[in-house]
Amino acid sequence: MTDPSTPPTCYRHPDRVTGLSCSRCGRPICVEDSIDAPVGQICPECAKTGGTQRVVRARQITGRPTFQTAPVSFTIIAVTAIIWILGFVAPAVGDALFRNLAMANFLVASGEWWRIFTAALLHAGITHIGFNMYALYLFGPRLEQQVGSPAFAAFYVAAAGAGGAASYAFGAPSQVSIGASGAIFGLLGAWMFVAWKMRNTPGGRRMFRELFILLAINAALPLLIPNIDWRAHAGGFLGGVLIAALWSRFAVGSRNAVAVRTAVAVTVAIASVAVVLVV
């Protein structure tokens, strides 16, 4: 009898822990063996047989995420938390990190374009980092399990960059901002696109309504709380929607879906740098 506490492993690669399963036969599959279908993923054997029906298994969307199933998400949370703790217990270190990583528009204008990405590692306080990392915990691991860790890592960086580029393009030259909100709104944008694609199903409509309410609340916060960089939020959100749309267009049905998704996200990240350099 299989121990229910033991995480499932890919049936083709028993050494790989996975949170995915074939939406047709139900066998556990790793990202490398996952082939995108119109809904869910299928294993290579089921892909050969064709067919149009798809079933989403409950275990694809339930269960607590772990480092084994979403290593990039948990690594980002850990690194971001460590950086904040270092800045809290050693103010001199925090000041140095702020000087070198913060999104300062006048420094970006002088050529330090990488700040549109590195600002996502910094946070102003416990509430700021707590909200962003909790949101990453809620939305990140599921997306990572669906698209693969390399693609998710590229997505997070690209969404952060899109938020930073928007903040730079439409913000004041003296503006300085920090936080992972651009990347978090990118995740929200990606899930909004998924919900929109599933809008003809009861679950998709419910997901879209819930995400829309969450988006509306967050969009209203800059009106109530000063110093929130809404430009980064908008840029990250639009970047997330764009990447998800391109994934849907070019990765679905591809046998190299993870590589395609990664390339798409990297291209969006490069485009964000190009916007900064041109503006």
Q: Average pLDDT, stretch 203-221?
A: 80
- Domain ranges (residues) in the chain: 1-63, 71-278
Confirm whether pTM is higher than 0.85.
no
The dihedrals phi and psi of 215, each to the nearest 5 degrees, come to -65, -40
Q: Are 133 and 179 in contact (CB under 8 A)?
A: no
Rounded Cα distance between 24 and 22, Å, is 5
Banded pLDDT at 226 (limits 50, 70, 90):
low
CATH (residue range 1-63): 3.30.40
3-class DSSP assignment, residue 179: coil
Range with lowest mean pLDDT among 14-23, 110-119, 159-168, 222-231 = 14-23
Q: Quick check: 62 pLDDT over 60?
A: no
Q: Average pLDDT, stretch 12-18?
A: 72
Q: Quick check: 72 pLDDT over 60?
A: yes
Q: Are 198 and 204 in contact (CB under 8 A)?
A: yes
Rounded Cα distance between 108 and 168, Å, is 8
Structure tokens that stand for 279 in this block: 């503006």
Q: Average pLDDT, stretch 56-63?
A: 41
The average confidence (pLDDT) of the chain is 85
Q: Find the farthest-apart pair of alpha carbons in the chain and give their distance in angstroms, rounded.
A: 64
Active site positions, annotated: 181, 233
What is the DSSP pairing of strand 41-42 with strand 35-36? antiparallel
Q: Quick check: 4 pLDDT over 50?
A: no
Q: Are 163 and 208 in contact (CB under 8 A)?
A: no
Residue 117's nearest CA partner among 235, 214, 215 is 235
Range with lowest mean pLDDT among 51-65, 103-117, 198-212, 230-244 = 51-65
CB atoms within 10 A of CB 249: 10
List 36's β-bridge partners, or say none: 41
106 backbone φψ class: left, alpha, beta (φ>0; ψ -120 to 50): alpha
Rounded Cα distance between 188 and 170, Å, is 21
Q: Which CATH class is domain 71-278?
A: mainly alpha
Q: Average pLDDT, stretch 90-112?
A: 95
